[in-house]
Structure 1
Amino acid sequence: MEKVWGYLDSGFCDASINMALDESLLNWHSNGEIPPTLRFYGWKEPSLSVGHFQKVDRSIDFDALQKYGCQFVRRLTGGSAVLHDNELTYSLVISEDDPSIPKSVQDAYYILSKGVLEGYKQLGVQADYAIPKREIGKDRTAICFEKPVYYEMVVDGKKLSGNAQTRKKGVLLQHGSIPMSMDIQMLFDLFLFPSEKMRQRKRDSFVNKATTINQLRNNEHTYEMMTTAFKKGFQTGLDIELKPLQLTEDMWKEVYQLAQTKYESETWNQKLSKERAMNGETSRVHT
């Protein structure tokens, strides 16, 4: 029997609004104000999001961010940095106590990412789960799409999507990046490297590690095409019925306030987790 979830397509927003809305959905579901919900969204400007625990002072080139007009935000979830540009982004919230959600983070990824897998099938892409060998996981990188992790999508060994997850207030939040295309020049210009030679070597090798839907299908996809395909994909993959979720004016006010006080603040975006905790940020995050 299909379960009924809320469905929200919030369109293109600033980076701070996108992250504030994801956190607000988590809070509202925890309070019983909304059902489990799937959200699709885009980014008003190119945006670099970094993981909750990621160090940024020695890895991110903030001058380059300004040069490219790229917004910057820290996610509530863990993982490495992601450049959000020409992509569909999804997020979902569901109770940790839901019988369909495994306790293991990896097993939960597997279940919830079925929606992503089925979405690619809707577009004619036969993706598969990435299950890298144990030693691959030790190769840390500041850039998300440089390597796949458990249960992300790959085609011929190349990474297609990046996902991140947190559990807080009894609710699981998962969101992910599904690129239509990727500006590799800009991506590698946003990071600090020991030398330009190293930067170029990393950029050149990247084409063997990641791919996009436009490359695979040799076609230009639109946001509307992606939302149609992946909406059907999540309905099929998770066996759910999606009904439109309408946010009230008060809900939007809450989102904008959270964006301003948290996701636009230097304390949240650039300080380490210990420094954030000293300033009142105490969220519990699993990666």
Structure 2
Amino acid sequence: MADILNIQGLSKRYGSVQALDQLSISVPQGSIYGLLGPNGSGKTTTLGIVLDVLNATGGSFQWFGQPLSKSTKRRIGALLETPNFYPYLTGEENLRITADVKRIDHSRIPAVLETVGLAGRKHSKFKGYSLGMKQRLAIAAALLGDPEVLVLDEPTNGLDPEGIAEVRQLILDISAQGKTIILASHLLDEVEKVCTHMAVLRSGKLKVQGPVSSIMATNDLVFINGGAPLEQLLQVARTLPFVSDARAVHQQIQLTLHPNTDGSAVNRAFFAQGIALGQLVVRKKSLESQFMEIIKADQV
């Protein structure tokens, strides 16, 4: 699968603040790629640079294997900020104005209204739209040029649960049309539910990138005790190849298992060492706890 966007060593400094620090990521064609991180992690700065809104301090990037140009810009639709629509005009009238500004034929308007689910409300005034509908109209404006790539910065920010669900489904629907989507978010739940790939940023640095399924694998946590002193249990646990971490926690030994390993493997391994465990409890490791481990890794 070809890469739509390649970023190599991208850096951005604002005075004494290093907003981006040697960022390198690759966005596969056809993916829904999430830039995930806390506020101030460099997500919006990254999108601003690759869309030619901001200038980088260092590094480079390529769209479709070449530098950004007028021709490549036409292949990209972006929503970095909510556009200013006219409240007393209808959704369709607002899109006509946007199309004129972008020099796009009005013939695309019915198709994008259908895509975002607003065809039935095209004659309703913008001021009467819900927050979710307003955001969907903004995405419709970004789709007017029939771009190959759609770039969205915090697309569900400020929406109620219904609006969030609407926009998430819309992202999945647009992706199903064969478009690549890049979105920035500080919400783990958003990225986990819609994205195929992700990069986790913190303080302008890349912490990890890759398929969501591999980064956010729900490793099991196993708690054991009994059958031998805690120190002996800990020593044995640290020799097991399917245990990635072992530590004493509240008179128990807590084990973090590799993906696709279950608690029965732990029981068998200890029994082979002549230890019959008194207790073994398996719990799923939460996505939130894994995310916090990622962004805190190597943190000073």
Structure with the greater alpha carbon radius of gyration: 2
TM-score (norm 2): 0.23
TM-score (norm 1): 0.23
RCO (CA 8 Å, sep 6+): is it higher in 1 or 2?
Answer: 1
